[in-house]
Amino acid sequence: MEKQHIDELAGIVGPENVSTDTLELEIYSRDPTIVRGMAGAVVWPRHAEEISKIMIFANKTKIPIYPRGAGSSLSGGPVPLERGIVLSLERMNRILEIDVENLQFLAEAGASIREINDELKPHKLFIPPDPASEVACTIGGCVANNAGGIHAVKYGTFRDWVLGLELVLPNGEVVSTGTKTRKSVSGYDLTGLITGSEGTLAIITKVRAKVVPIPETRMVTTAYFHTLEEAGKASFKIMIGGLNPSAMEILDKTTMYTISQYLKMKLPPAGAMLIMEFDGPRDDVDNRMEIAGKMCRHEGATEVKVSATEEESLSLWNARKTAFQSLAILGKNSILIEDITVPISKITDMLRHIHEIAEKHNTMVPTFGHVGDGNLHPHVLYDEENEEEYKKAMAATDEIFETAVKLGGTISGEHGIGVLKRKFFPLEHDTKEIAVMKRIKQLFDPNNILNPHKIFPEEVT
Amino acid sequence: MSFKPSLSKEMSSELSKCFRCSFCRSQCPIYQSKLNDTWNARGRMMAVQLLREGKISLDDKVLDRIYTCALCKACEEICPGLVKVSDIIKEVRCQLAEAKKGPLPDHLKMFENITTTKNVLAMKARPAELQEAIERLPQKADMILFMGCVAQYVYPKHLLTLFKLLEQSKTKFTVLRDELCCGSYLADLGLAKEAREVLAETGKMLKERGVRKIVTLCPMCYNTLRNDLPELMSTPKMEVQHSTQVLDEALKKGALTISRALPMKLVYKDPCHLGRYAEVYDAPRNILRNVKGAELIELERSREFSRCCGGTIRVPYSDLRNDLCKKFFDDAVKLRVDGVVTACPSCFHNLYSTAPYDIKGVFDIVEILGYATGIVEKIPFYEY
């Protein structure tokens, strides 16, 4: 990047908040995925006004801007595909307001979910969507990607909780959207439009979102089945039975094995397991757990365990939370994490297809996920150095996406499209729908300087 | 500067386990001070990989990232990949030292200090009060109290109280009158050969004197003597305990009894080397719970998620140390505690040197117990 441009950026944010050193450029050019890029500069603005000036600068110079929160994206979303500017929001991390009376908070985009939850805890409140990365991920990133997590089955994704945003538009205008009220039909829902737009329409600088009281109790029931399909069917029955679990997770045989090895804990021999959480008043929770247990047995569960205490529940969640890292036991150094989501009535079909696809391509695809809302994480494993394995893994991945869409599902339930899923985008959206989306992008960002080449397949861009 | 670390097979495999999830940003104290990912454990791991690939060269900036890791292991508690971050950093430091590209000049001074004065602080003699007490100890005993550099030369009162507590509980012990630094700092800085030489001397002394049990006040000495010494040389079986474990046992057995109340709201600061390194979390808490009138409060970040005080990086990064301590105190002040208690002379030093006015006192746990058992009349540095 030219010296005059760097000087201009330094003039906006201060020289201590801009870097062109290779170390920063390399580190800020990656997220956890395989997507590669290389930034020309990294900036750390501290106010929306600074971001506004950066956007005006970007429009003038046509240098692309890549907003970044914690860099924990699983889609390649924050990766600078061109030699542009990574705009890190990590220094805009203040929690501005905890409004206990109105059950909401206001925070700068760079505050992490954990940090906000820590502030909410003394008031016995919490943010219901809980992405697996909640310790790290930022509220801005969660809204930009409409993140979900294990509790989305009851509480939905961030879209259901965001009330309003402060945004910097690509032309530099600072705009506030939404209201403090829990409902509003006043004009177009710009908050909703920006939520899940993956940093391509505007830079989120502040988020106002609803919170709820921490439930009186949270308890866990586990059920073990012969097959993944049986477990999927039981989950479906519980969901349509109106038992309203706050989490409904499935683990396949491979993941059960890796967790038991990883944690050196014993799990009953089974082909699949369900981990269900119910929250609310204790009596009500006990009652729903009992009914869920009966439903599981009816669907062929070999064993149903009701956790006796909250501590026991917690240890089961801790086991579930190690599912991903436990896969390391399988000895593969690369992983494609998918987050396909299908209508809940198709969950057993999808589970069966994943199994068949894995067999067909002779690829390991341990699967677990949020079965209650139809969101599965098939993890396609391969060794990076082994080209044949890589090809097989890619073929299996392609087929998993195609199948999900055929079943009426989506290619991304909670991670976003970013770079990794761009090529699958037309599977789910026809040209007319994509054209509308692109016109919106054009309206917000006529010079295509904000996180370009994300979401849409390259040929459409 | 060209430098490509060639990691051992084990550390290469550890490094490959980092999948850049960034969970470590929630724990890494240096990241939280700098708010720049290159100072985070993820950034450091990526930097090591970039060095290996020749994509970055070794400059002052990269050296800073390598030597500011406090080796506090906080990131390892949250790491989904279970990456041994501190072991990787230590191995890189060893290679830097071998290539004469590290450690930093201030670090080398520490080694020089040990060679010339037997202690890392370059102190010529122990404070008279401590020296006199040492003279009164028996020449020989099965149990050695390993005093450590910081307590001996800077906070001798902590040791004097510990002497009294051990005597009161009828524990027979002595010290190594010619005690040498355990070398923990050197090992952490990658001066592996020098650290081994220093530790071997201590090992030789312990062997010659037929020591069966070692008690330490310093958690760093504790880990070095408990883990590194048996790896370095074969010695007769020696039990190693931290002083909090010994004192907790003494209270449980009734060998020590609490006679005085200390009506204070206290928070216990887990030293990284006692907590995350050695998983000694309960012994110090048990002691404090025994103290009448004292209310023990847990911080949101305690036990395995406890904040680091920056002791291992104080030289030469004192600004970072100050900021790390500030963040710890911010948490404590929020809970309106009267005092902060720790069980590590280095943590004590860092906290005591940076404590805000809102905190009435910073204490070593032996001082609290000394006062509560009536062994000492007042707590040093604190006019109770």
Nearest by CB to B22, from A24, A44, A72: name it: A72
A322/B81 Cβ within 8 A: no
Task: Report the C-alpha gap between A420 and A35 in whole angstroms.
Answer: 7
pLDDT digits (tens, 9 = 90+) for B46-67: 999 999 999 999 999 999 999 9
∠ CA A141-A144-A145, nearest 5°, is 85
Contact A371, A347 (CB under 8 A): yes
Query: Over the stretch A353-393, which tens digit does the pLDDT of each residue have?
Result: 999 999 999 999 999 999 999 999 999 999 888 999 999 99
**DSSP secondary-structure letter at A450?**
B
Can you tell me the distance from the alpha carbon of B348 to that of B364, in angstroms, rounded to the nearest whole number? 6
Interface A-B, measured as beta-carbon pairs within 8 A, has a size of 73
| pLDDT for the residue A447 | 97
Quote the pLDDT of residue B118.
84
* Order of strands, sheet of A334-337, starting from the edge strand that comes earlier in the sequence: A303-306, A217-225, A272-280, A247-252, A367-370, A375-382, A334-337
Q: Are A263 and A251 contacting, i.e. CB atoms less than 8 angstroms apart? A: no
- The residues, any chain, with a CB within 8 Å of residue B92's CB and separated by 6 or more, are B5, B7, B48, B51, B66, B190
Cα radius of gyration (chain B) = 21
Chain A hits for B35, CB-CB cut-off 8 Å, are: 44, 90-91, 93
Q: What is the pLDDT of residues B178-192, one digit of tens each?
A: 999 999 999 999 999
Candidates A173, A152, A150, A170; CA nearest to A161 is: A152
Say how far apart CA B241 and CA B90 lie, in whole Å: 25
Domains, in order of start, for chain B: 9-102 (1.10.1060.10), 107-248 (3.40.50.1860), 254-372 (3.40.50)
State the pLDDT at residue A312.
83
Neighbours of A364 (CB within 10 A): 20
CA B161/CA B145 separation, integer angstroms? 13
Say whether A44 and B81 touch across the interface (CB within 8 A): no
- Looking at residue B59, its pLDDT comes to 96
Q: What is the mean pLDDT of residues B149-172?
A: 96
**What single string gives the DSSP state of each residue in A16-53?**
GGEE--HHHHHHTT--SSS-----SEEE---SHHHHHH
B215 and B143 Cβ atoms separated by less than 8 Å: yes
Q: Contact at 8 Å (CB) between B242 and B283?
A: yes
Q: A196-210 pLDDT, tens per residue?
A: 999 999 999 999 999
Instruction: List the single residue in B with minimal CA-CA distance to A329.
Output: B81
Q: What is the pLDDT of residue B384?
A: 43
The amino acid that residue A341 corresponds to is T
Contact (CB<8Å) B22/A133: yes
3-class secondary structure, A189: coil
Q: What token pair was written down for A335?
A: 């992983």
The fraction of chain B above a pLDDT of 70, given in percent, is 99
Dihedral sign of CA atoms A188, A191, A192, A195 in order: positive
| 3-state DSSP assignment of residue A66 | strand
Q: pLDDT digit of tens for each residue in chain A (461 aa)?
A: 899 999 999 999 999 999 999 999 999 999 999 899 999 999 999 999 999 999 999 999 999 999 999 999 999 999 999 999 999 999 999 999 999 999 999 999 999 999 999 999 999 999 999 998 999 999 999 999 999 999 999 999 999 999 999 999 999 999 999 999 999 999 999 999 999 999 999 999 999 999 999 999 999 999 999 999 999 999 999 999 999 999 999 999 999 999 999 888 888 899 999 999 999 999 999 999 999 999 999 999 999 998 888 888 888 888 888 888 788 888 887 888 889 999 999 999 999 999 999 999 999 999 999 999 999 999 999 988 899 999 999 999 999 999 999 999 999 999 999 999 999 999 999 999 999 999 999 999 999 999 999 999 976 44
How is the beta sheet containing B213-216 ordered, strand by strand?
A: B143-146, B213-216, B239-242
What are the residues facing A95 on neighbouring strands?
A107
Q: What's the confidence (pLDDT) of residue A165?
A: 98
Which residue, chain included where needed, has tokens 């050196």? A264
* pLDDT-derived band at B94, boundaries 50, 70, 90: very high
Mean pLDDT of chain B: 94
pLDDT given for residue A460 in this prediction: 41
Q: Annotate A308-334 with b (16+ C-beta within 10 A) or e (fewer).
A: eeeeebeebbebbebbbbbbbebebeb
Contact residues, chain B, for A133 at CB < 8 Å: 21-23
Is A322 part of the contact surface with chain B (CB cutoff 8 Å)?
Answer: yes
- Mean pLDDT, range B228-241, rounded to an integer: 92
Question: Are B220 and B309 in contact, with CB atoms under 8 Å apart?
Answer: no
A264 interface with B at CB cutoff 8 Å: no
Distance from CA of A70 to the nearest CA of B (A): 7
Which pLDDT score, from 0 to 100, does residue B382 have?
62
> How many residues are listed for chain B in this entry?
384
Does A91 touch chain B if contact means CB atoms closer than 8 Å? Answer: yes
Contact with chain B for residue A388, Cβ under 8 A: no
Q: Which residues of B touch A88 (CB under 8 A)?
A: 37
pLDDT of residue A267: 87
User: Chain B residues with CB-CB distance to A under 8 A?
Assistant: 16-17, 19-26, 35-38, 42-43, 46-47, 50, 55-56, 61-62, 65, 78, 80-82, 300
Q: Which of residues 328-367 of A touch B (CB under 8 A)?
A: 328, 333, 335
- Alpha carbon distance A427, A425 (integer Å): 5
Return the closest-CA partner of residue A413 out of A364, A366, A350. A350
Are B25 and A28 an interchain contact pair (Cβ–Cβ within 8 Å)?
Answer: no
Helix (H), strand (E) at residue A86 = strand A85-88
* Residues A32, B20: C-beta atoms closer than 8 Å: yes
Contact flag A324-B17 (C-beta cutoff 8 Å): no
